[in-house]
Structure 1
Amino acid sequence: MVVHLRDVSAHRELSHQVSRLTYTDPLTGLPNRRALLRTLAELRDRPRPWRGCVLVLDLSGVQEVNETRGREVGDAVLVEVARRLRAALAPDHVLARLGGDEFAVVVGCAPATADGVAARLIGVLAEPYAVGGGRVLLGACAGVAEFGPTATPDELVAGADVAMRRAKSLGGNRSERYDESLEVQLMRRSMLTAELPGADRRGELDLLYQPIVAVDDRHPVAVEALLRWRHPQLGTVGPEEFVPIAEAAGLIDEVGGWVLHQACRRVASWRAEGRPVQVAVNLSAVQLRESDFVAQVAAVLDAYEVPPEALIVEAGEADVVADVPAAVHTLGGLRALGVRVALDDFGTGHSALTYLRRLPVDILKADRALIAEPVTPGTPAAPLAEIVVRLGERLGMSVVAEGVETAEQLSALAAAGCGYAQGYLFGRPMPVEHVEAFFELHADGVPRAIGPSTVD
């Protein structure tokens, strides 16, 4: 009898060990993915419907820690992550490690409350980690999926994972909530990412041109080259969608180089025909930080025998403020070549005004919000235009007003002394043949450029 009891006790202990190995993450001691799915299945099968959400958290930076500091330090970081999450959650929340640098939380609350939990956890995980005799910083993003009675546990976790990947694609350090449209968006992004390489060689990239005119007589002085992707299945894809993909995939040199070549080839052709118009191209955030970008521009100008002052390079205000030293270096190098430099989207609230005196800029492109139609009837049509124009004058910069759509706005800009404007009032982005017809309509105007050429 005693021997039999000992056998039962040993069997129970063995079963307990097997269960622990089956349902526990060995590094953190947390429940693993299998345990999480079992918990979700139990909640689904309750007699009374259970309301709650699943959160999937993804850490960024762990792989870099493993590569630079060693896997032991990386493991220590993950153990600390688990400790912080445990401490930040309520006793009735279920925390699990899905594997790698992903964790999951089951919370018995409505989606809006779960969003708040996700935001709090992201903040907790962003605090520095003191491990391995040094300091480690991580980022995190989260996806939230609401518990549905018809969804399987796997589908619920997959939904939260889709939302997490959406948050990650938007820059991380944020959370997103799952809905079915997210899967469509992610499938579209996946397709664009897979098919963007070689789009230039397949003839799918296209440039449209929007005129920039002198305010006094509407004579065209420049055109802005605007990129489009003519995708064979998805139709026209705008740069706001695929340029971030190109940056993330390391393809921005390929895409940006194509734009620069095409724009310079076109302006060389126009100048040979007696049209001394300038062409503006947009600079991406990644290109702004590239040490050899100025040399790339110089080589393209030389290849098409385009004088540097015929090219305007536009850098977005947000991108410049994000890395002012890199912006000063790159834009200063372009200016030294004789290329005109424009600060795009000026006035969008990114504090460029603080750095404006330091920036090697020739042209301020005032954001459309600064000249938008007033809400109150009878007020000036462009109330902030005069302020921007005076600022440009004090700093020796030309001002281009973007997004001009009405004659009233144009009159207000003229009264404020603004020299140049761009917008649907003069022309939408158009193909080459249409912009050339636009030139012909204004063939009697006096050829000119935006402000004097500036070479430091």
Structure 2
Amino acid sequence: MVGNPRTFWLVLLTAAAALGAAAGIGPVLGLAVVAAAAGATALVHAGALIRLALRIHHGRRDFGPCRGAGFLGLGALLTGAGVLATGLPGVEPGPVAAATTLLAAPTYLLGLLLLPGTAPTLAARLRRLLDGAGIGVSLLYCAWVLTLGRTAAGLGPLRLAVAITGAVAVAVAVVTGLRAVRHRPAALGCSGGAALSILGSGGYSLSLLGHERAWIQAPAAVTAGLVLAGLAMIAAPFLITAGARRAGDEPTRPEAYDEDGSLAAYPLLIAPALLAVVVSAFHLLTGGRFDSTAVALGVGALAVLAVRELLASRDIRRYARTLAGREARFRTLVSGSSDVTIVLDADLVARWQSPAAARQFGLADSDVLGRAFTDLLHPDDAAPVTTALRAVRDGRQDGLVQARLRDGFGQWRDTESTVSDRRGEPEVAGLVVHVRDVGDRARLQRTLDEVTWTDDQTGLANRRKFLAAVAANARGSVLALELDRFETVADLHGPTVAAAVLIEAARRLRASIAPDDLPARLGGNAFGVLTDAPLVRAFALATRLATALAEPFHLPGHTVHLAADVGVAGVEGTAAPEETVRRADVARRRARQLSRSSAGGRVECYDRSFEAALVRRTDIEQQLPGVIGRGELDLVFQPVVDLATRQPVGAEALLRWRHPRLGNVPPAEFLPIAEELGGPLPEEIAAWVLHSACRHLSRWHRDGRDLWVSANVSARQLAADGWLRAVATAIDTHDVPAESLVIEVTEAALPDDTVAVEQLAGLRALGVRTALDHFGTGPTALAHLRRLPIDVLKIDQALFNEPAGRRGPATPIVDVVVTLARRLGIDVIACGLETQSHVDVVRAAGCPLGQGYLLSPPDHAEHVEAYLERHRTPML
């Protein structure tokens, strides 16, 4: 709790009460109480200060920072020990107290001068001593001449030595604290405490020395002086300890022109010296005489002033030489620099310019001085430069501005200027503008931009320039284009033809856009266009570009047919140009996905839903490889029922992909992606479905169930060369009757007639039956069924579903289909039966078989087997 403010006030109040009571308990006991209280407090804090010094020394391994606290602790130790000794029986208290003051005062001063930041050099410490000595001796001289010399005729040399030492030491302590160049709060605490301790010790000594023989019979005034001196000595160690502990705080910044304090304290001596002169004159005018003590004090004050004057003159000459050297160096640097320096006042008016202005820009002082700096600049650059200069003037930032400046010959010069605020420096007192001619650099930069911002093959802007242009636009649209099937051009015709296609595509882009639009090659066969048009007009522009790029590329010896998918995104509402281009590319990729079934050349505008669809498609593309090995594919079965008996006669195998993160992915979503990825994956999935369906069919036949199973196949798989062999292998491997396997193909996915007839005929030759699924939703005509070797026709719900509010028109359509199929020897299955009215319609039309959720939903094999068990039809 040493140095704590609460402890300080508690101890001080307790001491005041105790010392006040000491005046009434007898002189001997009262003196003992004062000595014990003041001495104990000083000794406790002396220990704290010495421990602090040792801790600083062990932490920094250096005697420098710890010396101040160590000597302050030693001063407190001398004070505490001396004051305690005055209260011992048989000891002459006066001489002991005087010796304490004479020893402790210089120790305190040594500790103050060695504190960090109070006096950094030996010369600065000497100046502190001289300043304090001059002030202290001058004030003591005034007090002696006015009062002490008349009432202290019997004053002995010891009291005089204590008075002089105390006055000088207190003055030095005060000056040291006030003139600390760094760590000012710590210096103020330590110097205030040291001055208070010296005052208390000196007052204590003088009180006791005035009554060396009969101090026991001292009057009440002397006792009161002892009490006040004791309070001062009790309070002082608290201040010293608190200040010493703050020596590690953030240092305060000294004045730049007087970091060691050589000049800052000199004016303090003027007031005491003038006061001494006034007191001397008054004393002479009133008939007073000067005794030897007054003469000695006056001579001492004059001597200190003379020495301090010599040091001050030396410091002033040194400072003047420093300023002259700085000015000479400044002029040398400014005159030899290629930069032009201009000093502006707070109103941004030029007040000074360097000689380089005439040499670099041909600007005379009459062309610049007294004019606003912005009057020298190009009108288009004046406003932003004014804003930057005001920002520097208001302290918000240092500025770097680029502007065109008119030189002395009337020409505009590209310049770059750095601006800094130097109004706080008396030598400058303004805003300093360093102007550099960057014309050569600007011309070189423009040349580099033409090279580095242009695609060297097509002559269009490259991606870097395109992004910079998008960043500079606050409105408009971005178009992202990519030539579809371009990769095959280089493979079939070589890189020369591919390069010619890119050049021709760039020419068509330039010819199809407005002059203010910016076309760019973003990389490979990808292009971009930045236009000021809003989305609606940009969509029309994208359509024109897609049409232009879809025209045949007639090249020497070659004709290339390509298409371009285009994505459009608005510039507004995006934080970065990369984001705008990315959105346009997302729309382009969506357009390409939607145009795979057509000839290409689709245009799409960006929509947030595209992001989720694109992410999901990307996830599917990444997760599809290895799907069979991970065991994520599954088959579910939906029974086909005889509508008359409601007995199952067959089942359709339906593929499912159950992914742990993507969930249940329908085959209509992932099978087209698998075919686009290419490779063996589509054939592997088809083979897995075929073998899984045959495996379940074989087990059901072994269990005595007379059923057939159908499996779906895509157009690509049906047209594959090895498809018939794969079907034959599956039949042989699982030992199932060929007629119990049905291969379904969707009407819309049928290959061309020749391939379809050959492949379906090949399946029939194997004994495998074939089915045409979703009949009624594709382009196949009824008469076309005669050419296709089809065994089963699965009609879609669209043929028999009754529109809302209408009844009856579906029955004749179904009747025609069923009648024609029966004449062609084709079995008919009505798919999508969900209500009893559906069943009634198809039964009325003569359709014998049905499939749908009303009869049985698709389910896993074990649940379907339970269904079959409930509707068991034994094999013949």
Q: Aligned residue for 1:430?
A: 859
Q: Name the counterpart of 1:451.
A: none
Larger radius of gyration: 2
1:371, 1:409 within 8 Å by CA — same for their partners in 2? Answer: yes
Out of 575, 586, 603, the residue aligned to residue 175 of structure 1 is 603
The match for 2:100 is: none
**What does residue 129 of structure 1 align with?**
553
Deviations 1:115-161 (A, max 9, x none): 34333332332222222412211132222212223431110001111
- The correspondence for 2:642, drawn from 195, 204, 214, is 214
Question: In the alignment, does 2:454 pair up with 1:30?
Answer: no
For 2:709, what is the secondary structure of its paired residue?
strand
Larger RCO (alpha carbons 8 Å, 6+ apart) = 1
**CA–CA distance in structure 1, aligned partners of residues 687 and 668 of structure 2:** 17
For 1:359 and 1:397, how far apart are their aligned partners in 2?
11
Q: Structure 1's 294 and 411: CA in aligned 2 closer, same or farther, altered over 3 A?
A: same
Q: Secondary structure at the match of 1:57?
A: strand
Q: Is 1:299 the counterpart of 2:729 in the alignment?
A: yes
TM, length-normalised to structure 2 = 0.47
Letter in 2 for 1:167: A
Say if 2:406 is the partner of 1:406: no
Which whole-Å deviations, capped at 9, do the CAs of 1:412-456 have from their partners, x for residues lacking one? 11111112211111111111122112212222x5769xxxxxxxx
Report if the CA contact (8 A) 2:782-2:817 is conserved. no
Q: How does 1:152-163 map to 2 (within 5 A)?
A: 152-163=576-587
Residue 314 of structure 1: aligned partner: 744
1:237-248 mapped onto 2 (5 Å cutoff): 237-248=665-676
Equivalent position SS for 2:772: strand
Moved more, 299-308 or 126-135: 126-135
1:347 matched residue in structure 2? 776
Structure 2 residue matching 1:384: 3-state secondary structure: helix
- Count how many residue pairs are aligned between Structure 1 and Structure 2: 435
Separation in structure 2 between the aligned mates of residue 263 and residue 336 of structure 1, nearest angstrom: 20
Matches within 5 A, 1:46-65: 50=475, 52-65=476-489
Amino acid at match of 1:91: P
**Is this contact kept in 2: 1:215–1:413, CA < 8 A?**
no
Work out the CA distance in 2 between the residues paired with 1:162 and 1:390: 50
1:39 correspondence with 2:39: no
2:548 aligned with 1:119, yes or no? no
The one-letter code sitting in structure 1 at the alignment partner of 2:520 is A
Shift of 1:99: 1.2
Is 2:657 the counterpart of 1:254? no
Asked if structure 2 preserves the Cα contact closer than 8 Å seen for 1:381 and 1:408, the reply is no
Please give the secondary structure, in 2, of the residue aligned with 1:210: strand
The 1:204–1:134 alpha-carbon spacing in structure 2 relative to 1, beyond 3 Å, is: same
Q: Percent identity?
A: 47
Amino acid at match of 1:442: H
- Structure 2 residue 188 is matched with structure 1 residue 188: no
Alignment gaps of 5+ in structure 2: 1-410, 412-437
**Equivalences for residues 257-336 of structure 1 within 5 A:** 257-320=687-750, 322-336=751-765
- The structure in which a higher percent of residues are helix is 2
Q: CA–CA distance in 1 between the matches of 2:874 and 2:815?
A: 26
TM (norm. structure 1) is 0.89
| Residue aligning to 1:454 | none
Instruction: Flag structure 1 segments of 5+ consecutive residues without an equivalent.
Output: 45-49, 449-456
Q: Using the alignment, how far apart are the partners of 1:408 and 1:149 within structure 2?
A: 53
**Which residue, out of 195, 205, 213, partners 2:633?**
205
Say whether the 8 Å CA contact 1:143–1:176 is kept in structure 2: yes
**For residues 90-130 of structure 1, what are the alpha-carbon distances to aligned partners after superposition, in whole Å with 9 as ceiling and x for unaligned?**
33433221111111122333434433433333233222222
2-side partners of 1:18 and 1:150: how far apart? 29
Q: Which residue, out of 800, 807, 817, partners 1:371?
A: 800
Structure 1 runs, 4 residues or longer, greater than 4 Å off: 8-16, 352-355, 380-383, 445-448
Q: Does 1:232 find its partner at 2:656? A: no
Tell me: CA distance 1:114–1:199, structure 2 relative to 1, closer, same or farther (3 Å). same
* CA deviation after TM superposition for structure 1 residue 182, in Å: 2.1
How far apart, CA to CA, are the structure 1 residues paired with 2:783 and 2:446?
A: 64
CA distance in 2, matches of 1:296, 1:233: 32
Q: Going by fraction, where is strand more abundant, 1 or 2?
A: 1
Q: Which residue does 1:440 correspond to in 2?
A: 869
User: 1:76 maps to which residue?
Assistant: 500
CA RMSD of aligned residues (A): 2.4
Q: Residue type matched to 1:340 in 2?
A: R
Task: Summarize the Cα distance change of 1:401–1:79 in structure 2 as closer, same or farther, 3 Å threshold.
Answer: same
